[in-house]
Amino acid sequence: AAPALAGQDLDGKPVSLDGFRGQVVVLNVWGSWCGPCRAEADDLARLGESTRAQGVRFLGINTRDRDRAAAQSFVRAHGIGFPSLHDPDGELLLRFPPALLNPQTIPSTLVIDRRGRIAVSIGGAVTDEELGPLVARVAQEAS
């Protein structure tokens, strides 16, 4: 099962993983300072929009960005329409088993099923061609 995650998004609004229960969640760990994060951001933004009707929601964890402004600029530049928890010290990342989410591997992406279980773990940058079929498979599972 995915650990409980809650905090503030990049605009200071409360957000929690529990708020997405019953939906497939793509959890992406990123930082504005991260080159591979920039490379995958447009694909994630596109996939987030195209899978919404299938009950898929995206949630980011922005890590190691002390300044929210840098992270907000990254989100605007890539047209990212999903919220991200602000986790400058990586505290949220440490709630996951390192075998599933290594805090040193940024970016990382998890796919969490409708029951809150981690179904897919990917370390490193991902494209929509790689992630799309995995998300579709988890979205097709009964809850």
Q: What is the mean pLDDT of the chain?
A: 96
Produce one character per residue of 50-73: b if its CB has 16 or more CB atoms within 10 Å, e if not.
Answer: ebeeeebbbbbbbbbbeebeebbe
Q: What is the pLDDT of residues 69-124, one digit of tens each?
A: 999 999 999 999 999 999 999 999 999 999 999 999 999 999 999 999 999 999 99
pLDDT at residue 142, as a whole number: 75
Count of domains forming the chain: 1
- Residue 106, domain member (yes or no): yes
pLDDT at residue 135, as a whole number: 98
- Residue 68, domain member (yes or no): yes
Where in the sequence is the domain holding 78, given as residue range(s)? 9-14+21-140
Proportion of the chain above pLDDT 90, given as a percent: 98
Q: Which of 37, 30, 24, 15 shows the shortest CA–CA distance to 132?
A: 24
- Residue 28, domain member (yes or no): yes
pLDDT at residue 143, as a whole number: 62
Is the pTM value of this prediction over 0.85?
Answer: yes
